[in-house]
Structure 1
Amino acid sequence: MAWNEPGNKDKDPWNNNKGGKNQGPPDLDDLLKDLGNKFGGIFGGKPSGGGSGKSFSSLGISLVLIIAVLVYAFSGFYTIKEAEKGLVLRFGQYAGVVEPGLRWKWTFIDRIIPVDMQTTRDLPSAGFMLTQDENVVRVEMQIQYRVVDPRAYIFSVTNADDSLSQSLDSALRYVIGHSKMDDVLTSGREIVRQAVWTELENIIKPYNLGLIIVDVNFKDARPPEEVKDSFDDAIAAQEDEIRYLREAEAYARGIEPRARGRVKRIEQEAIAYKEQTVLDAEGEVARFEKMLPEYQAAPEVTRKRLYLATMEKVYSNTSKVMVDVDGGNNMIYLPLDKIMQQQPNYQNVIPQTSPSTSNTGQPTRAASSSSRADRFDNGRD
């Protein structure tokens, strides 16, 4: 049986019109009243039988409180990037450091300051500066640095980057002021760079900026534009001087070994000549000592043998012409000049090997044979 049929009025689902004839939907005020009583019971209150305005106010306050709690909870979530670290300030006072990742904080109580720890930052410095020798030069330098201590970076000074910039300018001017212009422009650039690096670290050390210097780059150094051409000529002359010195050193390194080699070769040749002369002399002495007994035993035979051996040696190196004159007394004309031209060594051999002729027309003994015989005679005596 349906609830709205006659005789079944007690089963009305709206339960708000038990004695009347109206079977429509419940009144909105009554519905709000019931909801207010239910929420009041949830939060520890008692159901009220008052008016509908009071019930609606307590429901609105409850909803606002729930929404406010949810918003506050979700507003506390934040993220620290992988390359960063976060400084936590609780009521303005340092409370610690948080690592990268998803974090939660007390909104309106904690404040998070993210600090990049991995990025390498650049800081330039440039300007006209006075050198030790009272010359003006424009120098450009750039440093690279990273943050290593986020707390010192944020709280040690008002602005760590600005303090580092002023320290770099001070260190650069100090080093340039104690250097000569030629060193800054040419050969001393690396020395200046290292000196600026060391001086900068010494300056920022007492301030504890929480920074580390990664590198110092010496970008450029040049004189003022008004005197740039003159300085270019001076630098070119210095480069030529260095080049000539290098060429001279290379030439000296090339000449010295050759000279030492020649000296060594001459020494070796002198030693060889000395040994050869000594050995030749010893050989002559040994040969003389062996032939002396033979000469003492048969002087005439030995002298003749020596003479024949000498003549054989002499005539073996000369050109010879044989003429048979036994056939008659006629004068025979021979083209001796043509014959001698066919012997290329004749001019060099004849003066040394041609035997001398005595007044009788007979050839005499060779000088070497006579000298040897004389030596044998002296030895015999």
Structure 2
Amino acid sequence: MPSQNDDPGSQWGSRPPSPPDIEQAIDRLKSLFLGGGSGKDSGRSLGGLLTAAILLLIVVSVWSAYYTVPSDSVAVVQRFGMYLKEVPPGLHFRLPLGIDNTTIVPVKRQLKQEFGFVTPGARDPGQGTREGGRETQMVTGDLNAALVEWVVQYRISDPVKFLFEVREPAETLRYVSESVMREVVGDRTVDEVITIGRQEIEIEALVKMQELSTKYVMGISIDQVQLKNINPPRPVQESFNEVNQAQQSKEKLINEARREYNKVIPLAEGEKDQRIREADGYRLKRINEAEGDALRFNALFTEYQKAPEVTRRRIYIETMQDVMPNIDSKVLMDNAGAGLLPLLSLDGKKERQQ
């Protein structure tokens, strides 16, 4: 039997001797964990192992107490499962050994959910639990079928509500998006959904998705709803393409006719305006000339009334000065004479000399 000082329980008094089978079991356990040592050496080995385990636990605890929050995220800290606080980006400390639990929430990152297709490498929460083929099958307001693919882009506006108010918020958002899109598409005809109504559908779906997200307190802000491919079902896709081609041909002919119309009509209107302006200009010219002539005549008539004989003679002389240079043959006659007066034609001589 070992001495009383070597027995770990000697400080509480001596203990009764153990049966041989219990002592053998204790020796086997010591040999298994301590490599076959016994007595004082075995106690020292057990103490060293316990010290190493404690040091390792301390190192692991200190190492796990520090954590880093990315620049586009915040950390939600829970202490014993209860919400404690939000932590901004950077290096932070928490209580180890599961006392404090942190969840990283990317509040500044734009997330998206794809419906009907999957972009390679894209992280779409909840995509793995849904069937893309079924969620795109919709019925329009005129009871036609259409395959609608769309994308919802959103941000996490309130991390606390996102984590604790709704269970599986990403999956809930998918249900909300699908429900709203079916409602909006069901209010329109298939032609509106495929052609002219895409923008209206996106705007209305965005508003209704945001209203439901606010109502359910999901902590999500919807940024954009974007429609992608919208096609008819495969059995009628060929016929639909033929109808679509016919409509495109119709639009093409209409656009060509409008182009010719815009080419001819503005030119004719321009010529019409030009003729009208020319006529207006000619009218104003004739009116101004007539008014000027009338004013000139009135002025002459006023002067004539002051000295009729002088004015008459001056007008006669000025008129003869304008007329005589244009006459080649000149004949001067005397009223009192009996015959013609010969006149030397100097103008003809000058012309022959030239």
Q: Please state whether the residue corresponding to 1:214 is helix, strand or coil.
A: strand
Question: Cα gap change, 1:180/1:312 in structure 2, threshold over 3 Å: closer, same or farther?
Answer: farther
**Post-superposition offset of 1:163:** 0.9
**Post-superposition offset of 1:150:** 2.6
Residue 70 (structure 1) aligns with: 55
1:276 is matched by which residue type in structure 2? E
Residue 116 (structure 1) aligns with: 106
Deviation sequence 1:304-333 (CA, Å, 0-9, x none): 8688567537647xxx8x9xxxxxxxxxxx
d(CA) in 2 for partners of 1:117, 1:142: 19
The structure whose Rg is larger is 1
d(CA) in 2 for partners of 1:178, 1:236: 28
Q: Please state whether the residue corresponding to 1:186 is helix, strand or coil.
A: helix
**Post-superposition offset of 1:153:** 1.9
- Could you tell me which of 118, 141, 149 is aligned with 1:132? 141
Question: Cα gap change, 1:282/1:102 in structure 2, threshold over 3 Å: closer, same or farther?
Answer: closer
2:162–2:218 contact (8 Å) kept in structure 1: yes
Deviation sequence 1:196-245 (CA, Å, 0-9, x none): 21111112111222222233323233344131221232145346546755
Alignment of 1:92-103 (within 5 A): 92-99=81-88, 100-103=90-93
- Could you tell me which of 276, 288, 291 is aligned with 1:275? 288
d(CA) in 2 for partners of 1:117, 1:53: 60
- Could you tell me which of 170, 180, 191 is aligned with 2:179? 170
Question: Cα gap change, 1:98/1:67 in structure 2, threshold over 3 Å: closer, same or farther?
Answer: farther
Alignment of 1:87-236 (within 5 A): 87-99=76-88, 100-126=90-116, 127-224=136-233, 225-226=237-238, 227-236=240-249
2:155–2:220 contact (8 Å) kept in structure 1: yes
1:267 is matched by which residue type in structure 2? D
Question: Cα gap change, 1:74/1:245 in structure 2, threshold over 3 Å: closer, same or farther?
Answer: farther
1:80–1:114 contact (8 Å) kept in structure 2: no
What's the TM-score once normalised by structure 1's chain length?
Answer: 0.57
Residue 68 (structure 2) aligns with: 80
Q: What is the number of residues matched between the two proteins?
A: 281
d(CA) in 2 for partners of 1:266, 1:302: 39
**Post-superposition offset of 1:167:** 1.2
Structure 2 unaligned segments of length 5 or more: list them: 16-36, 117-135, 331-339, 341-354
2:201 is matched by which residue type in structure 1? V
1:165 is matched by which residue type in structure 2? R
Deviation sequence 1:235-262 (CA, Å, 0-9, x none): 4534654675577568766665664454
What's the TM-score once normalised by structure 2's chain length?
Answer: 0.61
**Post-superposition offset of 1:85:** 3.4
d(CA) in 1 for partners of 2:194, 2:226: 15
Question: Cα gap change, 1:195/1:315 in structure 2, threshold over 3 Å: closer, same or farther?
Answer: farther
2:141–2:189 contact (8 Å) kept in structure 1: yes
Which 10-residue stretch deviates more, 303-312 or 280-289? 303-312
d(CA) in 2 for partners of 1:174, 1:235: 29
Question: Cα gap change, 1:257/1:235 in structure 2, threshold over 3 Å: closer, same or farther?
Answer: same
1:131–1:176 contact (8 Å) kept in structure 2: yes
Residue 324 (structure 2) aligns with: 312
d(CA) in 2 for partners of 1:202, 1:104: 37
d(CA) in 1 for partners of 2:100, 2:315: 134
d(CA) in 1 for partners of 2:167, 2:104: 16
1:312 is matched by which residue type in structure 2? M
d(CA) in 2 for partners of 1:103, 1:93: 17
2:94–2:100 contact (8 Å) kept in structure 1: no
Which 10-residue stretch deviates more, 108-117 or 275-284? 108-117
1:90–1:110 contact (8 Å) kept in structure 2: yes
- Considering only aligned residues, what root-mean-square deviation do their CA atoms show, in Å? 4.4
**Post-superposition offset of 1:276:** 0.6
d(CA) in 1 for partners of 2:283, 2:192: 54
Deviation sequence 1:260-280 (CA, Å, 0-9, x none): 454344323312211111211
Q: Please state whether the residue corresponding to 2:217 is helix, strand or coil.
A: coil
**Post-superposition offset of 1:195:** 1.7
Question: Cα gap change, 1:312/1:267 in structure 2, threshold over 3 Å: closer, same or farther?
Answer: same
Matched, 1:266 2:279: yes
Question: Cα gap change, 1:309/1:168 in structure 2, threshold over 3 Å: closer, same or farther?
Answer: same
Question: Cα gap change, 1:282/1:159 in structure 2, threshold over 3 Å: closer, same or farther?
Answer: same
d(CA) in 1 for partners of 2:179, 2:142: 19
2:213–2:219 contact (8 Å) kept in structure 1: no
Question: Cα gap change, 1:108/1:282 in structure 2, threshold over 3 Å: closer, same or farther?
Answer: closer
